[in-house]
Structure 1
C-alpha cells in the first residue's frame, strides 16, 4: 500500500500542526465572475452524520440520490454503469424533454470502466465506438422545482470507449470525454485504438459523435480546458509510469467553429519549460518561468511510440506525474499535479500542485503546493477534480487514503469540509470509502452535483449556498 499523507506527516512530526498550505489562493479566482464574492470564509459548519449512511453534509444541506450503479436506466437501454467519474452540468433548452419548461439541466457523467467492469456502459446503436469497450458516458436530464430535483430522462451518451476519466465542457455546451488509456486495436481484446477524446452532445442540434477527435492526440487523457479568446484547447495527461505525462495544447483549424468543429483538425503541441525536465523539481510557490515554449508533437496518433516517449529534439520536453484537473479562470489556464513521488521516478515529492499558465505572457507559475508540511485537516492528499463554487472559491475532491471528502477552499485561504462519504465499502474492522469525483454546479449555482466512484452514486446537494 502506498504511503499516505497522514503516515508521512507522522514521521515528520507534523500531524496536527496548524500549518497552512503554501501559495496564494486568491490568484486562482482573479478575473472570474466568482472572484467578486467575499467567499464564505467560515464555511458551513461541521458535517452532520447521515442517518442513512450515504453522505454527511453540514446542517441545513440535504441530498438526493439521482442515480445508483446497477439500477435500470430510465431509457430502458440497460443498467446504470459503474465507476462514476468526471461530470459537468449544462443548461437545457426550454421545451426539451418531457418536463415542465424552464429550469432544466443536462448532467453528463463519465464512467471510468475498463475491461471486466462491474456494470459496463450498454452498447447502443449509433452511439458505440468499439463494441469491446465498456466505458462511456450517461446523460441525465433534470428539472428543479423548489429544491426538488426530478430526473426526467437518463440514457447512454456514448458507449464503446474505455476508461473515461474526466474531460471538460466546450464553449458551445457539449462535453469532451477523455479516455485515460492508450490501448491499441488487438490489445486486451479491443477492436479499435483507444486513448482519444470524443464529443458528447445532448440534443438534435448537438449530437454525439463516435468518431474520435484525432487532432487532440492519442494518449492517457485526463482533462481539457478552452481559452475563450483564442479557441486553444489545453489538455492534461495522467500517465501512470515514467516518463510521466505532458501538458498539451491544440491549436484548432477552426478555433471558434462550434459543435463538430474540432473534427477539422489542428496542431497538437506539448509544453517545454526551458531548463525544467520535471515540474516536481519546483517546490517554491510563486516560482515563475517566462518564455514557455510549445513544441509540435511528432506523431499525435502515437502509431508506434506513445507521445511522452517521442523525440522532441534538443531541449527535450517537460514531464509531470499525475496531471489531472484542468480549468480556465480569468485569462489563464490552471492545471493540477495530484502528487509526485521520487520513489516512482519523479524528481521531487509533493502531495499536490496547482499551476497557472498565462498564454499572453507565456508565463508558467506554481500557485499552490500541498504538503508534506501541510496540516492533515486540509485538502492536501491527492487533489483531483476541482470546480468553481458559487461562493467564489473552489470545491476539491480529495482522492487519497482513509475517509473521503469534498473540501471547500475560499479565496481567503480558509478550508472547510463540504461532504464526507459514509458508504463503507470495506469491513467494520477495516473500513474503506469510495473516492469522490465529478463535482460540479448547476448553471444557476443552486445545486452541487457529485459522484461517489464506488459504489457508483450520483448526488444532488441543495442548501443555503453562499453567492
Structure 2
C-alpha cells in the first residue's frame, strides 16, 4: 500500500529515524476544520470525548483494544479458503462491507500481491483477468451473529490491488496500484485498471477492466451518490507525483456493469498551485477548481501524470491515498510529502475536501509531526467515517502501527494496535493496518492487518 511499510529497501520514515536516535516527545499535532467532516448528528456531538480509554495488552499478542472491546479473527493468510479454492492469499489491504439478506454481511477484501507475492489469489476460470497476476479480491459472507459462512475468490489475475471504494449499488471497485504493461514482470496483459466486484455474486461482475477510468497507479475511489461521478486518487512514488481525477460515466448511477459503458476521465487543476504540498495553512481555500480532460486515459505511450495538459499544467501531490464521500463533498488523503523526494513542501499527512457544488477545494486537516514511535499519528492511509460521526484512520508509517480515531475537536486516540511482530525482539516490525470499514448497522468495525494478512472484526461499546 505504501513505500513506507516494512518492505526491504524502502526509505526510512521520520519515526524510524527518531526511533534509531532515541528521540521521544509529546505526541502529535493534529489541526484542522474538523466540523467539515461531521454530519452534526447528536451522536457526532457526543464524540467530544477522547476515545475509549487506554489500550489493553492482548494476551494472545494479536490486537490491543480499549477495555470493553473484543476482536474475532475472521481470516488469516495461509489458512484454507472455506470454498476449497486454495489458501487465503497474503497482503490484506482495502476492504468494504455490504448488507446482505437476512442480516448477512458481505466483506470484499483486496490482496496487494505483486509478481513475487508469496500467497497469490488462486486463479479460477471466469474470475481471472491475467493468469500471471497474483493479486485480486476475496469475499467473506458473515451471518447475523458475525460467524463466517463462506470465503471465496471474488476476482483473480489482477496486480497490486491496493484500495478502492464501494458504489451506491453495493459493489466494490478494486484498484490496481501499478502501471506494468504486458511483458513486464511476466504479465500477459496490461495492468493499472479498476475492476468492479460483486461480493454477493462475483461471477456476475467477472474480471473486466474498466479501461475508460484510466490506467495508472490507482489507490482509492469515492462515488458521488447524487451525480454518479467517481473520484480517483493516484499514489505515484516518484516525480511527477500523482493526480486527483474524476470520471464522468456515460451511464451514471446505472448499477452493476454501468461503468463499462465508458465516460470521460479528467484531472484536477488548482489554478496557481502545481503541487498541493506547498499549501500548509489549515482552511486554505481555492475556488474555481478546473477539470481538464486526460489526453490519453489508457496511457498507451506515456503515463498520465507525464502527459501534456497544456500551458497551465496540472496539479500534482505526493502519496494520494484514501478517498471517501461524506455529506456533499469528497475527501482525499495525502499520506505525506517530503521536499527531499521532490515535493514543494513537507507534511505528515493532509486531508483535502472538494465541494463539487461550489467547485471549491479546502485543506481541512494536517497531521504531525509525531515524535514518539509508540504513539499513533503518522502517515494516514485508509480512512472511513465511523457510525458515531468520528473518523477511523489506518496508520502506515514506521514503528508501532495503529488504527486511530479522530474526534470533532481534533483529539486523536488509539483504537487498536497491531501486536504481530514480523521482525525480531531486538528489531521489531509491525505490519500496517488497512481496509477499515464498519458493518451496515454500525455495530462492528472490520479491519485488516497487512502482514501477516489478518482480518479482524471488532465489537464493543461503540458510541452512536
What is aligned with 1:17?
26
The number of residues matched between the two structures is: 455
Q: Match of 1:77, SS?
A: coil
What is aligned with 2:151?
154
Which structure 2 residues correspond to residues 401-440 of structure 1 after superposition, within 5 A? 401-440=398-437
After superposition, the CA RMSD in angstroms is 2.1
Q: Distance in 2 between matches of 1:335 and 1:107?
A: 23
What is aligned with 1:387?
384
Shift of residue 8, structure 1, vs aligned partner: 7.1
Per-residue Cα deviation, 1:244-274 (whole angstroms, up to 9, x for no partner): 0000000110112111000000000000001
Which structure 2 residues correspond to residues 70-89 of structure 1 after superposition, within 5 A? 70-89=78-97
Which structure 2 residues correspond to residues 137-216 of structure 1 after superposition, within 5 A? 137-145=137-145, 149-204=146-201, 207-216=204-213
Q: Distance in 1 between matches of 2:17 and 2:346?
A: 11
Tell whether the 8 Å contact from 1:140 to 1:151 is kept in structure 2 after alignment. Answer: yes
What is aligned with 1:90?
98
Q: Distance in 2 between matches of 1:374 and 1:292?
A: 36
1:48 to 56, 66, 74: 56
Matched, 1:38 2:73: no
Q: CA 1:213–1:18 in 2, change beyond 3 Å: closer, same or farther?
A: closer
Q: Distance in 2 between matches of 1:42 and 1:310?
A: 46
Q: Match of 1:26, SS?
A: helix
1:298 to 295, 305, 329: 295
Q: Match of 2:248, SS?
A: strand
Per-residue Cα deviation, 1:388-437 (whole angstroms, up to 9, x for no partner): 11221001111010111111111122211110011110001111111110
Structure 2 unaligned residues grouped into runs of 5+: 1-9
Q: Distance in 1 between matches of 2:374 and 2:418?
A: 16
Shift of residue 326, structure 1, vs aligned partner: 0.3
Per-residue Cα deviation, 1:67-117 (whole angstroms, up to 9, x for no partner): 010000000100000000000000012xxxxxxxx2210001000000121
2:320 to 318, 323, 326: 323
Q: Distance in 2 between matches of 1:372 and 1:271?
A: 28
Q: Where do 4+ consecutive residues of structure 1 move more than 2 Å?
A: 1-20, 33-37, 202-206, 371-380
What is aligned with 1:463?
460
Matched, 1:256 2:256: no
TM-score (norm 2): 0.94
Which structure 2 residues correspond to residues 268-279 of structure 1 after superposition, within 5 A? 268-279=265-276
Tell whether the 8 Å contact from 1:421 to 1:433 is kept in structure 2 after alignment. Answer: yes
Q: Match of 2:204, SS?
A: coil
Q: Distance in 2 between matches of 1:34 and 1:3?
A: 42
Q: Distance in 1 between matches of 2:438 and 2:250?
A: 31
